[in-house]
Amino acid sequence: MTPRDTYAFVGDPPLFIPPADEVHISCAFTWDIPKAQRLANAWQQYYSVKIGGPALRSSANGFVPNLYVRQGVTFTSRGCNNRCPWCLVPHFEGNLREIEVTAGNHIQDNNLLQCSKPHIAKVIDMLRSQHEICFSGGLDSRLLTDDIADDLRSLKVKHLFFAADTKQAIKPLERARQKLEGFTRNQLRCYVLLAFDGETIDHAIERLEAIWGLGFMPFAQLYQPPGQWINYSQEWRHLARTWSRPAAMKATTAQNGYNVL
């Protein structure tokens, strides 16, 4: 999601610094705040510096295309009305609110399907002129309707991301899969939170295999609480690596007798 233009940098100042009045450091994750502060000190040798971003609860009331995210990424809403215990979005951004729809092929909304029907219709209409469309913010399988599924089929979709962070999320995901006839596993992706609230590795594997069996490509993520970092065991890290890499998943599921298509 990082911008790729001439004035976007990752890390320390380069040998030849560009002309500018101010540098903004955007920090996405709380565990990277010390690194962001170190970079601020490094860039302050040459510029006035501001630090912000999701980790520091910077305001997210609207969206300016290409600012802090690469070209093509767009937000059409902010916040979320759910109160999932592992998610910081409601605490950082508040309840869901719709914002102006700006063009882009990478929809990064936290919960687009919570938006009103007229707003979703505007988003779909905007996307009809886009290619390689990704709904990477995540779609709520409980809110997917037949009409929305039909709209998605009418678009040039590359990836649809859903989520199944608990065992209870499998049934809604199954119902969503039934509505998404015609989409391949490569198009259907699913965020899967691992190791939350005492989950065992065996239970995590059971959930990952169930999601694969429904025809989704899991994207596993180990839970990290706010303000700290859990150093997971090698077994947990191996599980997360395996189930976040398509080639590794296909090898594992083929070995276990699952359909890899």
Say how many residues make up the chain. 261
The predicted model gives 78-96 an average pLDDT of 92
With tokens 């599924």, the residue in question is 149
The predicted model gives 2-26 an average pLDDT of 90
Give residue-wise pLDDT tens across range 93-148.
899 999 999 999 999 999 999 999 999 999 999 999 999 999 999 999 999 999 99
CATH code, residues 63-255: 3.80.30
pLDDT value of residue 65 = 86
SS (H, E, C) the chain: CCCCCCCCCCCCCCCCCCCCCEEEEECCCHHHHHHHHHHHHHHCCCCEEEEECHHHCCCCCCCCCCCCCCCCEECCEECCCCCCCCCCHHHHHCCCEECCCCCCCEECCCCHHHCCHHHHHHHHHHHCCCCCEEECCCCCHHHCCHHHHHHHHCCCEEEEEEECCCHHHHHHHHHHHHHCCCCCCCCEEEEEEECHHHCCHHHHHHHHHHHHHCCCEEEEEECCCCCCCCCCCHHHHHHHHHCCCHHHHHHHHHHCCCCCC
Contact criterion met (CB below 8 Å) for 143 and 114: yes
**In the predicted structure, residue 261 carries a pLDDT above the cut 70:** no
Q: What is the CA radius of gyration of the chain?
A: 20
What pTM did the predictor assign?
0.89
Spell out the residues 6+ positions from residue 110 whose beta carbon is closer than 8 angstroms to its own.
Answer: 77, 78, 79, 80, 89, 93, 96, 137, 138
End-to-end distance of the chain based on CA atoms, in angstroms?
A: 28
**In the predicted structure, residue 244 carries a pLDDT above the cut 80:** yes
Percent of the chain's residues with pLDDT above 90: 75
**In the predicted structure, residue 66 carries a pLDDT above the cut 90:** no
Least confident of 2-6, 106-110, 120-124, 203-207: 2-6
Beta bridge partners of 73: 106
Quote the tokens at residue 172: 């809604």
Sequence ranges of the domains in the chain: 1-58, 63-255
Under the banding of pLDDT at 50, 70 and 90, the label for residue 37 is very high
Spell out the residues 6+ positions from residue 109 whose beta carbon is closer than 8 angstroms to its own.
Answer: 75, 76, 77, 78, 115, 137
**In the predicted structure, residue 260 carries a pLDDT above the cut 60:** no
The predicted model gives 152-158 an average pLDDT of 98
pLDDT value of residue 1 = 85
